[in-house]
A and B are shown apart, each in its own frame.
Chain A
């Protein structure tokens, strides 16, 4: 999934407009229950267990940061 597709997932799940993928979710207007909804949607979409504390790291708390986190957790081992 590329960034613009991921931003659409954020927009759909959180009813916000993602103007810039590096903008923190809070500044996009995503409230805390919405953030949980987003993590739930990510688990369903990508099929791995999200760490409940993932967003405690401010570097991850934006659409771009979250997609990096998704890629880090779903990357297939090299060469396979």
Chain B
């Protein structure tokens, strides 16, 4: 099949849960913070008063009533949204697919910040694009490296027009690219005529409420912005948006319409109603509180269990869903993830976030959805697996095999 890719563009099986397995794998939000009574009353009203509209097909626009809710969210990070630059999606996953199909041509190279969200590289590959790791230094995306790599790739005959980044509380590292760096990266993009794809599901989930100016705020004509309600409201509504430069709006809207025909008016109506009644502040604060608490519990437990001379290194994130461990000697994390699974805790090994295996020594731990009282137990099980010597594992494997 045309969509078969090498390596296979599969998503890790993140959302499966076994009996006694504690999952630190899937990036699920903590929906315990949602005011379900209020949402249920509003959904009831929406269907009773407007069901024939909300359950009907609709045009590929962000509903006018939802535009203020999107503008409110983007404004918190300096971004701009209005009815004319928005295209509705069923979440950023669709946004990634739409961008790849509308703005790329099969065979094009897409520079991709790594380690990368596997759904992004899978979407790019499925659209026939070739992800290529974007150059980074200790500060993150490296503008000088970009100039060099793009020049080399083009000299080798490759077409490079897109740069993908998840710049704030990045999945899986939790890292945030500083604003001065963003400006330098954009300057390089202008010189090299690259479009920047900014994927930002976590930007408002800084534990202390700190936000970082969007790439889209710095150069709205160079940036295709992917927004989503999945992480600040709920992923089950499958609702998000693309904020596009004027000259790309039509192409993106056309492809979005081909992919999904119509956005969900029901989801858009529910989100608009929630925002106009309650605003976003309370809900976002509750999400932040939940994740701050869980992250602290997990990082403290890791400090206590692994100590300072462990070969596994990590940094405490300031927001988002994830903690990223890296093996000092670049040992493959796959066997450790399997050992952890044997001990009843699931994590995602770094190979999934790699383009070509380059982050195989990483492990992603997701704290956003694990019950508070299971965090210490989960980290205990994980640490036992991580401190097991790989040679012991091999012997075990030999005995078993």
Q: Which residues of A contact B (CB under 8 A)?
A: 12-15, 31-37, 39-41, 43-44, 50, 52
Count of interface residues, chain B, beta-carbon cutoff 8 Å? 20
Nearest CB in chain B: distance from A15 CB, A: 6
A5 to chain B, nearest CB (A): 17
Q: For A52, what are the chain B residues with a Cβ–Cβ distance below 8 Å?
A: 48-50
Asked if B63 and A40 make an inter-chain contact with CB atoms under 8 angstroms apart, the answer reads: no
List the A residue with the shortest CB-CB distance to B61. Answer: A31
Residues of B within 8 A of A32 (CB): 50, 53
Alpha-carbon gap, A43 to B50, bound state (A) = 13
Is the Cβ of B53 less than 8 Å from the Cβ of A33?
yes
A36 CA / B269 CA spacing, docked (Å): 8
Residues of A within 8 A of B276 (CB): 12-13, 37, 41
For the complex formed, measure the closest distance between the CB of B205 and the CB atoms of chain A, giving whole angstroms: 27
Write the B36-50 contact mask toward A (1 if CB under 8 angstroms, else 0): 000000100110111
Instruction: Determine the residue in chain A with the shortest Cβ distance to B66.
Output: A33
A sample of 17 cross-chain residue pairs with beta-carbon separation below 8 angstroms, ordered by A number, consists of A14-B65, A15-B67, A31-B64, A32-B50, A33-B50, A33-B64, A33-B269, A34-B64, A34-B65, A36-B46, A36-B49, A36-B53, A37-B276, A39-B49, A40-B50, A41-B276, A50-B49
Is there an interface contact between B65 and A37, defined as CB atoms closer than 8 Å?
yes
Tell yes or no: B54 within 8 A of A by CB. yes
Chain B interface mostly helix, strand, loop or mixed?
helix
Residue numbers in A under 8 Å from B339 (CB-CB): none
Given the interface pairs A36-B50, A37-B269, A37-B273, the reply to whether A43 lies near B45 with Cβ below 8 Å is yes
**Assembly CA distance A77 to B278 (angstroms):** 33
- Which single member of A33, A39, A50 contacts B54 (CB below 8 Å)? A33
Contact indicator per residue, chain B 259-283, by CB within 8 Å of chain A (1) or not (0): 0000001001100110011000000
CB-based contact A37/B272 at 8 Å: yes
CB of B121 to closest CB in A, whole Å: 36
Contacts of B272 in A (CB 8 A): 33, 37
Question: Are B277 and A44 interface neighbours, CB within 8 A?
Answer: yes
Bound CA–CA A44/B50 (angstroms): 15
CA distance A43 to B49 in the complex (A): 10
